[in-house]
Structure 1
Amino acid sequence: MTITIARARRDDAFACAALRLRSDLEEGHLNRAGFVTEYADDFLSAFDEVPTWIATRSDGTVVGIVQCALVHRMPTLARGAKPWLYVAFVFVVPDERGAGLGERMLRTVDAWADARGVERMLLNTRPKARPLYERLGLGAPEERHMHRDAPFAATKEQR
């Protein structure tokens, strides 16, 4: 069956929510009442800031998603304004894994980002997904990159 990759539309909100739910359940998280509606509402409210691509079979079944956040970096004296792309969520349904769909979706996102002058693509990954990202040229960040998980208030209280 043919699979098409395209930018998600607003009316794909519930399909995207269903894929997020499947991914979370697969990771062992517990479902909660109202999650799909909560996700769909948030998807719609952040639609313009969260570029999303979905992979759809010819029968209309959505089988994959890549969701990103475009980060605008202000210009400095050393460089002009250059956006970054944070890849926030990649998921392919189990029966489509291993056939190259994840790679196809990410290459689609990469082409989109390149056309917009994106200077850097960032993501977090699980060990089992590293080979996919490495095939696409992603690698460990420079040593100067750091991150911190919330809550941030704890640090303020320690000062």
Structure 2
Amino acid sequence: MDDIAIRPAEPGGLDAVARLRWQWVLENGEAPAVAREEFVRGFTAWARENASSHRCLVAVRDGTVVGMAWLAVVPRVPFPGALDRRSGDVQCVYVVPGERDAGLGGRLVDAVLELAREAGLERVTVHSSDRAAPAYLRHGFAPSPTLLHTHLARPKR
């Protein structure tokens, strides 16, 4: 595993990250709504436009991106004791099948949490699958009875 580097995604390498996202969707049996190259173009444009709020880390082996993790940074409403408040959300942690079960996902999560610490974030959340929840628990996340959410219907296209 020492031959895998974890680093920020480079703007010129966002197409590889987009292809990981595409692969993940296919793995989950979902039918993409657009063609692959259209998705790659749209994804890379989105990533560039949102680079100030969404930071991507990648795992690279021999020049090939084999994993990714995103940190979304969200400004929070100030209060008298802190005018600059921000929190984070871990998103899209994915490792290609051939690299799984060797701790790489955990290394990506740890790297995202370090990025959050360096940015001075108050807290970091994650919306996890049941399968991945134990991994997040091992890396310092805990269930919260006060963090609630609701699912909204997606607008029809």
Q: Which residue identity does 1:23 align to in structure 2?
A: W
Structural mapping, 1:28-39, within 5 Å: 28-31=29-32, 32-33=34-35, 34-39=38-43
Match for residue 144 of structure 1?
146
Structure 2 unaligned blocks of 5 or more = none
Match for residue 17 of structure 2?
16
Structure with the higher fraction of residues in helix conformation: 1
2-side partners of 1:44 and 1:116: how far apart?
Answer: 19
- SS state at 1:47 partner: coil
Q: Cα gap change, 1:63/1:152 in structure 2, threshold over 3 Å: closer, same or farther?
A: closer
Q: Residue 45 in 1 paired to residue 46 in 2?
A: no
- SS state at 1:139 partner: coil
**Aligned counterpart for 1:68 among listed residues 64, 67, 71:** 71
Q: Residue 74 of structure 1: CA displacement?
A: 3.1
Given that 1:54 and 1:65 are in contact with CA atoms closer than 8 Å, whether structure 2 keeps it comes out as yes
Q: Which residue identity does 1:76 align to in structure 2?
A: F
2-side partners of 1:11 and 1:76: how far apart?
Answer: 39
Q: Residue 78 of structure 1: CA displacement?
A: 4.8
Q: Percent identity at matched positions?
A: 32
How far does the alpha carbon of each residue in 1:84-139 deviate from its partner, in whole angstroms, 9 at most, with x for none?
11112100000110100011111111111112211111111111111110101101
How many positions carry a matched residue from both structures? 151
CA RMSD after TM alignment? 1.8
Given that 2:70 and 2:112 are in contact with CA atoms closer than 8 Å, whether structure 1 keeps it comes out as no
Structure 1 unaligned blocks of 5 or more = 154-159
Bigger Rg over Cα = 1
Runs of 4+ in structure 1 displaced over 3 angstroms?
none
Q: Cα gap change, 1:149/1:77 in structure 2, threshold over 3 Å: closer, same or farther?
A: same
Structure with the higher fraction of residues in strand conformation: 2
2-side partners of 1:71 and 1:44: how far apart?
Answer: 17
**Aligned counterpart for 2:124 among listed residues 121, 125, 131:** 121
